[in-house]
Structure 1
Amino acid sequence: MEEVVTCFLKCLPLVSLMICCCISLTGAAEDQKGLERIEACSTKCSQGLDCKKTNFLFPSLCQSPPEDFKTSPVFQNISLSTVLRCEERHKCSMHLRIQTRMRIKDFIHGVSICTSSAGLIPNCKVIRFSQDRLTETLPKPLVDIENDCTMISLRQEVQITVETVPSYCGIKWTQVYTAPGCSNEDLQRHIPDCITHPTFAGVWISAGKLLYKVNPEEKSITVNVSEMRQDHNYNLRLCYAKRYICMSTEPVTVIKKEDTIKSATLSYSRLVPCLCIEGWSAVLDARRVQVCPFKQNVEELWAGITFDPIEASLLWQPLCPVTAQVTLCQQEHGECIDLPNTTHNVTRQKVKFTGVESHPQLCMKFSVNSEDWIRCPFGDRFTAWELSRQPEGAVLLTSPAPGIFLVELCEVEAAVPPKTCQSTENYTINVEKLKSVAVPLPSELPHRTFCLQVRRQDVLYSATLVHCFDPILETGSNTSVNPTCIIVIAGVLLALVILTTLMLHIWLTVHQRRIQKRKDDSCHYEKQKGCAPVFMVSSLPSKSALLGTVFVPDSPQNRSNEKTNLLSH
């Protein structure tokens, strides 16, 4: 048993907290629900009892109660609530509804209801019962009574006292009731004080509902208005919310009360976080409703950077209050390197950098909550100075604007430009507008890649760039000769010559073989027909051949035949 009691005591605070939360949530839900409407105030009694209401200012004096009142209560289940009586949609009044159940006796003629508030005269109502329907004829001794003819105002604290008629001392019911305020959505739409004035807490409550649609192509916002006052025009505008004011961006647009479609189109320049849609009824001191749907568009704040070429100054001012850091940086190799001593913390004030070189690689970095945005205001609109290498080896510096430049010579191991240049020599060069000036390089450059680091000296904030050059450069030629390329080209040419000779040799061999085959085939054919043998004669003619004689083998028989032939001739 002790363990059960201990557990209960430990859980009691948690149970109490849950009960309180449930009660609070229930009260909040009741405060937001719709209120009941009445056509006219009235007094009602149950069981067909005829009730008549009369008014008087002050309650009557009490008398000693009968003995019956001491044994059982007279009033039971008393409840208080607010109802609305409306002439038009936006012209409603608030009434206090009192409901009670009371025990009827023959010496009770009715009930009195008195309401009082601080600084106001008490107001009492008497509800009298008809004499022919009293205790003897009523089927039950309990009667339900309802009255809703007491007018109340917003957030009014009213003390209600219910007594019998005649009044008996000590026989009464008392309670304090607080009327709902403009936080109730039903009252926001139908009570004039909630529509045209702020609530008791100074919080603006919606005067109409605003629905919007953004048209990015046309840079416009279409706004539809609902639940507005039907008897007045409605004003709409776009504005920049700054602290307690909203600065207008354009003239007010008026929606006529006669218009069947309650909508308007508003133009904007950028959807910044503090851009709001504001609407209000066209009446004096009307309450205004604001809708600010673009609070996440922080990136839109970084636009609007301007450059003054006369002062050489960059200027940026936020359209909305924002806590940010603004820094000048140089864009290089995919990152923006901060320039030293250029960081500013801003909220609403403008940021101005004076003496800035209009170089495309100079940018502004905006940092908010460890997130960065880079904006480069010069971009392609401005032409930067440049270095160029001439065929004879000279380096020219050309600038679209007059300036003083510091040029530093440094040596590096590779052709990739370093982030920093270890200077060996430096020069100060004055450059006129659109003029080219030769950089005074040493007469003998090192036999490896050299770089030039250049920046303007006549401004406070400038870009520092490194340009690297190859020292191997032949005079009269725009490109240097690489020995490796020569070896490769010679090897290719030699291979082509060898390949051509080999192909020609193969072709001649095949051609001679074809000729020899044709001759062999011709002789074989002649032998079959009985032709005399053909002797091959050397291609080198002898002395006899040159004299026109025929060369035959020198044998004794041949010599005898030769003599015979000569004699016959």
Structure 2
Amino acid sequence: MPVPWFLLSLALGRSPMVLSLEKLMGPQDTARCSPGLSCHLWDGDVLCLPGSIVSAPGPVLVPTRLQTELVLRCHQETDCDLCVRVAIHLAVHGHWEEPKDEDKFGIAADPELEEPRNAFLQAQVVLSFQAYPTARCVLLEVQVRAALARPGQSVGSVVFDCFEAALGAEVRLWSYTQPRYQKELNLTQQLPDCKGLEVRDSVQSCWALPWLSVSADGDDVHLVLDVSEEQHFGLSLYWNQVQGPTKPWWHSNLTGPQNITLNHTDLFPCLCIQVWPLEPDSVRTSLCPFREDPRAHRNLWRAARLRLLPPRGWQLNAPCSLLAEATLCWQAPGGGPCQSLVPPLSRANVTVNKTLELPLLNAHPNLCVQVSSWEKLQLQECLWADSLGALKDDMLLVETRGPQDNRSLCALEPSGCTPLLSRASTRAARLGEQLLQDLQSGQCLQLWEDDLRALWACPMDKCEYYKNCPSPQYQELESRHSYR
């Protein structure tokens, strides 16, 4: 029976997945190509090892888009499993050159015919599939006649049938070439469950599948499992992570029916629930109901930890992936906001549970890492406080380099970056000449540099020897007094 499109939209959201529920008979995997391509599916699965990106030695075939379609793989007319059909669209990447050695450019020609129209572009395309708790990778060999290939243009597509998956599961797909010439394509989709679509008559496991619903009661959340009396089933709670494998949190074999209560402090955006009858080869239903729950996002940030690893590493630990960006800032002693530094940290998305390197030449206790989400500061940690000690009364100089070796210097202060040798009444302006001498004599520590900028930390502990040098405790009076 056809399903109205608006119901599919509710079930599939903005997913580009197509629902056909075409029935495929037999357990074997297959691959087929669009006209102009030839393809071959390797027997058995391969290791999921994408490797590092390498430069293409010439024109190569690469995946450009993934498309999915739901079908049924059937052993008998009423004994089917949900299966994900994947279409990989391919294009030519790189430019044509006059090769001296055709094999060097990945072009295999007929040994008896060396004309370009008889040459072929070949690619080994890996298709990786993950759906808790299983993962698979298959390898497709694809080739196209060189005369039909143009740089930057599509050459066609390869269709793979198919990856079996549990109803209601979240599935992830990746595609890349071996060797890998560009960043892998990826796609994440939520499959419909037995309640969502017209598949119950064809999928026997749906007949005895436990129904799961989530309801709220004040601060508590109830997992209501509509299971017949004395039916045995498994229930698993796990954190579904984008990076790395899923992390089990709680698992139990239960007898129905059940009403399980979760405290609101246990909720996280990536907390998912999986339930299945305790029968051989049973279908598992998965549900991740807390992705948009504000309480779950608040709990996630409370659980997140920012770790600074000597000599110049840092790591953001969290049970789920985070939409966040990190910046470097300078924290002066005596409080006040940590002043952001444009270099050297780019404002890029943060990868959780992965050690990242700060591109610093030297460490300094006043340098701190800030992690923000939607422009709201969530975490801040100053670098290596345990090993480098307390904050120092140092002045941070920002050097800007222009053409013809011209350079300008300013000192970072709460009011902004003060040019040295200016007539301002700030501490840096009054000590500008001495700071320049310290910089030229090598008494300042270089923290970072590129072709256009550099950061220097100049110690101010010699201030007591300078004439009329204000001590830090008098800095709060600088706006009202002038030191002569």
Q: If each structure's helix is expressed as a fraction of its own residues, which one has the higher value?
A: 1
Tell me: higher relative CO, structure 1 or 2? Use CA pairs within 8 A at least 6 residues apart: 2
Q: If each structure's strand is expressed as a fraction of its own residues, which one has the higher value?
A: 2
Q: TM-score range by the shorter chain?
A: 0.3 to 0.5
Q: Larger radius of gyration, structure 1 or 2?
A: 1
Report the TM-score, using the length of structure 2 for normalisation: 0.37
